Chains A and B, each alone.
Chain A
Amino acid sequence: MSEKSENLVEIRGLKQYFPVNTGFFRSTPLKAVDDVSFTIKRGETLGLVGESGCGKTTVGRTILHLYKPTAGEIIYDGKPIKTKDDIKEFRKKATMVFQDPYSSLNPRMTVSDIIGEPLDIHKMYDSSEKRRERIIELMGYVGLNTEHASRYAHEFSGGQRQRIGIARSLAIDPEFIVCDEPVSALDVSIQAQVINMFDELQEKLGLTYLFIAHDLLVVRHISDRIAVMYLGKMVELADAKEIYDHPQHPYSKSLLSSVPVPDPKIARANKRIVLSGDIPSPLNAPSGCPFRTRCPHATEKCAEQMPALREISPGHFAACHIL
């Protein structure tokens, strides 16, 4: 065995284009993710934020090969994932928690079948007794009452369903979990329960998370580092605290200043940078920097050339010509 690399997941030049029919016999590629590179260190939580349509969910799904990447490399634990066998091996270590706890659980399966399904697929038990024990252990991890094992998903509230979803993803004893907006469908008081559970599981099981969300306060709370995406490109990547205290990219600045702070005095004094206009359609994204149409500092250069993501201070990356 080679010694474990520090970077658990490494993404190089990832592109994910979807063909969209735009006319008779004509299709235009929708560049959902366009040339994105980043690494996720072992044991860290990387937050991925951005507005709807920026490609953050697509990044998560493409990493797990739920979509076949158009181009680019996904390197897991120092090994590129290419062949079908690689993917199968990879999926024993990497898994996903979905956004909607209502539609991501099969209504015709009992809780124990839902949680046990990954065990069946990867044949991770020798006897039905072992399978049962494992399911009970998993339900314990997420704070579910073991008496509920034979119930169906509809008998549970949103927060409990999300716990079932998390137990299912823990079944294969993963190292890496892509969490796609796991708390955005939950009520505030339940959100905190689930966020704490993610924290505790990470400590207990040594998990690495890619945490995708649009709620910036939640992401700030849970993440070690945060990446900001806009229209398929990564525009900034830095430590969670650094990016909140000193955002560099004009988009990140505006995005972070737009977050309503739950404190009346701060909220009223807060100078928001309100952007004009809407997010352009990814089908005809602007040339050069995708943000230039809404950017208050855009110059001619921004229309001609996409700025590269470069290190502007140690550990702080941004893609902008003016920096």
Chain B
Amino acid sequence: MASGSQKRLAKEYADCTKTPPTGMSIHLANESDLHKWHVTLEGPAGSVYAGGRFGLIITLPTDYPFKAPDVRFATRIYHPNVTNDNQGGICLGLLKSGNWKPSTRLLSVLEAIRGLLAEPQPDDPLEARIAHEYQNDRKEFEKNARSYVNHYAKGPVKFDVAPPNVNASGSSKDGAAPSR
């Protein structure tokens, strides 16, 4: 099964790099490891994120595609469906363990994330406050989102954020708070 997983990953990676989805470039974090992808995503034109470059880290479990990939923003982003911290967790229905189907391709995951940037889903938020602002004070939201873009999403994308789900005892407490 592990070999099947590798094979599928290799195939998906080849597909994704050959014809990358609009505005994305995809690389492996480490040439010899297919299980960690670094994706650079350009903010969709016409959205508040336009002009920003966002890093996405995709971590594929060893039993991928039976288990859902872990996708996180490496770049801070002001968005109702992305946690507003250095973890960058994303709320995407098709990635939830109950909903994940093995025949979902990473390509469609990436496209879904891009779609999320073009059109946030405030009804299904991770950041209730931002969702609330998005719905009720769009101007303020756009201002904040743009200032995040200017602050975090310009220049080369960095992928060196804290890895997800480590036993970071206390790290979320005092560590890694980017100065603002």
Same complex origin of A and B: no
Chain B residues engaging chain A, CB cutoff 8 angstroms = none
Chain A residues engaging chain B, CB cutoff 8 angstroms = none
